[in-house]
């Protein structure tokens, strides 16, 4: 991987545990000049964008863009429980559809759209590195979090762009997914070593706004909460997540 120190890079940042860890890796380990990219797509958990802004500030990114993708949420609302307009409820952890290994929280096309925007911005910036916090171990089985998807998107991105066609080393853009084969507790350990404050991240799919500061109280029952909670337990560190009472 060609991760040049000081070079511009685009980091997909949701404000969650995984993407914040990737932000820390890109900024502190790789030493890149981070352009953070977040999306408002009508997600139920739009509160995550406040966390994304806090983390962008904490890691002193060169730029942070929040792109409005309201149309995406509208186009897919009938096919995912994760957007606020959906008629479907967010399922509890473990409550799987008997007809599918992929839960309803899967959002059609989401990571492809997100990475496409990252690609467009990267090319305009002259950035060759795109970072994404997908994980294919402690995850919900989303097809667009798997290594084969990321590798294929990278090949497509190189064919799609001027930099891919004209790069002297034939490389073009690189998609870095440093968490993809890690267990959740390994992700947490890596982030803690880089100074991530996980109390300032949110993973819940169905959060409740907290009165005093408008931040999120996690539901404690969705799959994302379950994976996160188990990660802290397995890492042997206190879970800094604020849950709704009783969760």
In the complex with its own copies, the residue whose CB is nearer, 51 or 149, is 149
Beta bridge partners, 92, equal 222
First to last CA, the chain: 42
In the complex with its own copies, the residue whose CB is nearer, 73 or 207, is 73
Residue 154 three-state SS:
helix
Q: Distance between CA atoms of 229 and 212, rounded to whole angstroms?
A: 24
In the complex with its own copies, the residue whose CB is nearer, 5 or 162, is 162
Residues in contact with its own copies by the rule CB under 8 A: 65, 67-68, 70-72, 75-80, 100, 102, 106-113, 115-117, 119-121, 123-124, 143-144, 146, 148-149, 152-153, 155-157, 159-162, 164-166
In the complex with its own copies, the residue whose CB is nearer, 138 or 154, is 154
Least distance from its own copies to the Cβ atom of residue 130, Å: 11
Closest CA to 133 of 124, 121, 142: 142
Q: Distance between CA atoms of 217 and 206, rounded to whole angstroms?
A: 9
Least distance from its own copies to the Cβ atom of residue 214, Å: 24
DSSP state of 44: T
Residue 77 three-state SS:
helix
Least distance from its own copies to the Cβ atom of residue 233, Å: 30
Least distance from its own copies to the Cβ atom of residue 69, Å: 8
In the complex with its own copies, the residue whose CB is nearer, 62 or 237, is 62
Return the number of other C-beta atoms located less than 10 Å from residue 29's C-beta.
13
* 3-state percent breakdown (helix, strand, coil) of the chain, nearest 5: 40, 15, 45
Least distance from its own copies to the Cβ atom of residue 239, Å: 31
Strand blocks (E) in 25-128: 33-40, 63-68
In the complex with its own copies, the residue whose CB is nearer, 66 or 230, is 66
Least distance from its own copies to the Cβ atom of residue 102, Å: 5
Least distance from its own copies to the Cβ atom of residue 215, Å: 25
Which residue shows structure tokens 């999306």?
39
In the complex with its own copies, the residue whose CB is nearer, 24 or 83, is 83
DSSP state of 205: S
Q: Distance between CA atoms of 66 and 199, rounded to whole angstroms?
A: 22
């Amino acid at each position: 991987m060609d991760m040049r120190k000081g070079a511009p890079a685009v980091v997909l940042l949701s404000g969650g545990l995984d993407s914040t860890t990737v932000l820390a890796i890109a900024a502190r380990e790789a030493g890149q000049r981070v352009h953070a990219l977040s999306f408002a797509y009508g997600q139920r958990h739009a509160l995550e964008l406040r966390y994304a802004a806090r983390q962008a500030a904490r890691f002193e990114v060169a730029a942070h863009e929040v792109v409005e993708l309201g149309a995406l949420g509208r186009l897919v609302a009938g096919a995912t429980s994760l957007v606020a307009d959906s008629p479907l409820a967010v399922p509890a952890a473990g409550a799987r559809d008997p007809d599918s290994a992929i839960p309803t929280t899967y959002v059609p096309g989401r990571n492809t759209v997100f990475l496409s925007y990252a690609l467009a911005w990267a090319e305009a910036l002259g950035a060759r590195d795109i970072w994404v916090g997908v994980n294919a171990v402690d995850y919900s089985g989303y097809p667009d979090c798997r290594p084969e998807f990321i590798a294929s998107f990278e090949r497509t991105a190189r064919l799609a762009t001027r930099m891919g066609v004209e790069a002297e080393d034939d490389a073009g853009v690189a998609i870095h997914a440093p968490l993809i084969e890690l267990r959740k507790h390994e992700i947490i350990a890596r982030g803690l070593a880089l100074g991530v404050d996980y109390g300032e991240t949110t993973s819940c799919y169905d959060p409740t706004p907290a009165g005093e500061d408008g931040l999120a109280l996690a539901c404690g029952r969705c799959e994302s909460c379950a994976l996160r909670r188990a990660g802290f337990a397995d890492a042997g560190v206190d879970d800094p997540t604020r849950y709704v009472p009783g969760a």
